[in-house]
Structure 1
Amino acid sequence: MHTPAYITWNPNPDIFDLGFYALRWYSLLFLSGFVLSFIILKERFKNANLHLYLLEKLTMYVVLGTLVGARLGHCFFYDWEYYSKHIAEIFLPFQFGPFKVTGYQGLASHGGGIGIFLALFLYNQRFKKYVNLLWIMDQLALVVPLAGCCIRLGNIMNSEIIGKPTHVSWAFIFVQNDSIPRHPAQLYEALSYLSIFIVLNLIARYKPSKNGFLLGVFLMLTFTARFLLEFVKADQSDFEANMALNMGQLLSIPFILAGLALITFKRSGNSKPNYAEHEV
């Protein structure tokens, strides 16, 4: 009987390690997502005749919202049993007993999404006289899937967020976890997000729409993909073992419904930011 030639996956998560400092693939790919997003948005802000200062501030708000939201999301949604007893470690990049520098390990994308929305609310309070909030959200919807793709590629370099056991011919054996062939769930998700990035940018280029439409399509496609892919992903926490739908799926449902609402409901306005360049 023929035995499938599974892909043995055992990369070094560090690009280099100087002892006192190590650069990890995850960190590089995470940063690359933000850099590529900034480059794309810079061109769109320029075409909309908007001051780049607005984009620079937007980037600051979004980066902070992503990191804080993703960190808190992981701690509260997936590992509260541990962090409820180690509150300080939610905010500090090291653990006690024994002392160990860990960095901020554990980021949840749903928490990152919530963090971005809260950051945009604060951004809008400061800059609403210069730019339309829904237009800003539409622009972010065009680039967030690309950033998500980069992050999932970082996850596969870390051999984390692995898939369930399988015997498909393209299964990965994540050596750092076990010797069981598994779905490369991170790769599935990365390819899904890359496809969504392409679709959204084609819509933006060839089908002008009301403000909020691109955001709605983004939410519906991204979190529907996330909901479906959870069926081939290993549970991230033990408490999910007996759940009909896991935490990632339950958290995806409100985002899907919000996306459908944005696509369906009629809105006033157009696909323009509605504001000319201003001194800020």
Structure 2
Amino acid sequence: MILNYIHWNVDPEIFHLGFLSVRYYGLFFAIAFMLGYYMMEKMFRSEKLNEAWLEKLFMYVVIATIVGARLGHVIFYGWDYYSEHPGDIIKVWEGGLASHGGAIGILVALYFYSKKVTKKSMIWTLDRLVIPVALAAMFIRLGNLMNSEIYGHATDVPWAFQFIENMHAWVDGAEPIYSKPSHPTQIYEALCYLFTFVVLFFAYWKTKAKEKQGLLFGIFLIGIFMSRFFIEFVKNNQEKWEEGMTLNMGQWLSIPFVIAGIYFIYKAVKK
């Protein structure tokens, strides 16, 4: 039987005007932040909270996400290169963002935000923020799909994608060189993150979960990072030095977050 695999040949650039280039990844990133702001605004109003907190929260999270995700990629995945080319660290537009680094960056930012702005527990803020963050994670993986990056191992499943391996050359007019039929792990992750978002959204609005401090945050950690842990088994390693490792870097970085999620859920339910 001959299977017609999906030839994924989407140009990551939507359009450009002079030096300005609008790409799907950036567009999805912007949509994620706008939807996140809208959802947090609804939550703040429903709880009759100071909306001035929201504007500051947005600023903290945007900066922390970009800086943390970039430094995470530099430190966890590309230190050999960036230690010799430190000037390239600021070249975010060339790609290279790590979700684990973004998560760490947000945690650090929220520590200071909670101390200086709300005077509330950091976990209180996280219980609300993780709802739009789960949706943002889905959009980021869809951006990876549009970039034909971070896909999986070769496979013969009927929904396999063949990605263009010479993306930059193809955009410049070269003939495409397709990968072997591979797992579209970007879609796998996006669906898992969407499911996590739906669970958190329902729990916040339809149950009393937000009154159990740490419960929503714990669900988020398990939903996002356990999904990431298992999907990594069918995903190509991001760096060559990960070859031969029993667990790759993404999995090792996910384990502490999953353990933390179990802890927060246990603590919230026990109370």
Note the C-alpha offset of 1:148: 0.4
**Which position in structure 1 is the counterpart of 2:143?**
154
What is the identity percentage for the equivalent residue pairs of Structure 1 and Structure 2?
Answer: 48
**Which position in structure 2 is the counterpart of 1:56?**
55
- Equivalent residues of 1:72, 1:111 under 8 A apart: yes
TM-score normalised over the length of structure 1: 0.88
Amino acid across the alignment from 2:223:
L
Pair 1:213–1:7, CA change in 2 (3 A): same
Select the residue among 65, 90, 108 that pairs with 2:98. 108
**Which position in structure 2 is the counterpart of 1:276?**
none
- Equivalent residues of 1:45, 1:52 under 8 A apart: yes
Note the C-alpha offset of 1:25: 0.6
SS, match of residue 182 in structure 1: coil
Residues in 2 aligned to 1:179 and 1:230: alpha-carbon distance in whole angstroms: 18
**Which position in structure 1 is the counterpart of 2:225?**
223
Q: How many residues were matched structurally?
A: 258
- Equivalent residues of 1:110, 1:251 under 8 A apart: yes
TM-score normalised over the length of structure 2: 0.91
Residues in 2 aligned to 1:58 and 1:17: alpha-carbon distance in whole angstroms: 31
Unaligned runs of 5+ in 1: 94-101, 270-280
Establish whether residue 172 from structure 1 lines up as the match of residue 143 from structure 2: no
SS, match of residue 168 in structure 1: coil
Amino acid across the alignment from 1:14:
E
Note the C-alpha offset of 1:12: 0.8
Note the C-alpha offset of 1:268: 9.7
Unaligned runs of 5+ in 2: 167-177
Superposed CA RMSD: 1.6
Pair 1:104–1:135, CA change in 2 (3 A): farther
Relative contact order higher in (CA < 8 Å, ≥ 6 apart): 1
Pair 1:104–1:116, CA change in 2 (3 A): farther
Amino acid across the alignment from 2:161:
F
SS, match of residue 23 in structure 1: strand
- Equivalent residues of 1:71, 1:104 under 8 A apart: no
**Which position in structure 2 is the counterpart of 1:3?**
2
SS, match of residue 181 in structure 1: coil
**Which position in structure 2 is the counterpart of 1:207?**
207
For 1:65-214, list aligned pairs within 5 A: 65-91=64-90, 93=91, 103-129=93-119, 131-177=120-166, 178-209=178-209, 210-214=212-216
Amino acid across the alignment from 1:21:
L
SS, match of residue 93 in structure 2: coil
Note the C-alpha offset of 1:19: 3.6
SS, match of residue 148 in structure 2: coil
| Higher-helix-fraction structure | 2
